[in-house]
Structure 1
Amino acid sequence: MRTRKSAVTFNKPFVLNADVGELPPGTYDVETDEEEIGAGEYTGHRRTAVVLYVRQGGSTRSIFATPKELDSALERDKDA
């Protein structure tokens, strides 16, 4: 298992999943957990979980989502 850190930017308000509701546009820190897959000389990684960090008023909230939920939210933001 490995964790990859990155950032994502949303240009419009967005919904990551039904549990959270709408979030404001902005840049968010993201941690993605990946598990190793493969055997022999070829190895890859599959994303298994995503944590989006929402900073508001001096506090930080961790929002857990699937990689598909994050990808879908980013795609909707790009298309809108």
Structure 2
Amino acid sequence: METRSTRSTVTFAHPFHIAGYEDELPAGDYEVVVDEDLLQGLSFEAYRRSATYLLIGGRTGGRGISEMRPIDPRDLDAALARDQAQPEQS
């Protein structure tokens, strides 16, 4: 089965939690990796999401330890919505 991965960046303005993990993550930019599998047997090319990961840790330039945490995309969307609903701190 063919798999493709896409990467995007999300930004949290406030510390946040992701469902399924107890630790609080600091505000900042986080990379999201989405893996999709090619659906076989169709007359056109189509993919189905098979996994979503949030990259935690590491530093710019690829230095430091990082962790790919599997997450539910709905949990990520909920965390982003909570972050955006919080008032800006002065």
Whether TM-score is above 0.5 comes out as yes
Task: Give the unaligned 5+ runs of structure 1.
Answer: none
Task: Kindly provide the CA deviation profile for residues 29-64 of structure 1, in whole angstroms up to 9, marking residues without a partner as x.
Answer: 110123456x556x6555342111112572111111
Q: How does 1:12-51 map to 2 (within 5 A)?
A: 12-35=14-37, 45-51=47-53
Task: Give the unaligned 5+ runs of structure 2.
Answer: none
Structure of higher CA gyration radius: 2
Structure 1 distance, partners of 2:17, 2:50, is 20
Instruction: Figure out how many residues of one structure are paired with residues of the other and give that number.
Output: 79
TM-score (norm. length: structure 2)? 0.68
Aligned with residue 54 of structure 1, among 56, 63, 73: 56
* Equivalent position of 1:63 in the other structure: 69
Root-mean-square deviation (CA, aligned residues, Å) is 2.3
TM-score (norm. length: structure 1)? 0.75
Q: Which amino acid aligns with 2:70?
A: F
Structure 1 distance, partners of 2:18, 2:4, is 23
SS at match of 2:6: strand
Percent of aligned positions with the same letter in both sequences? 35
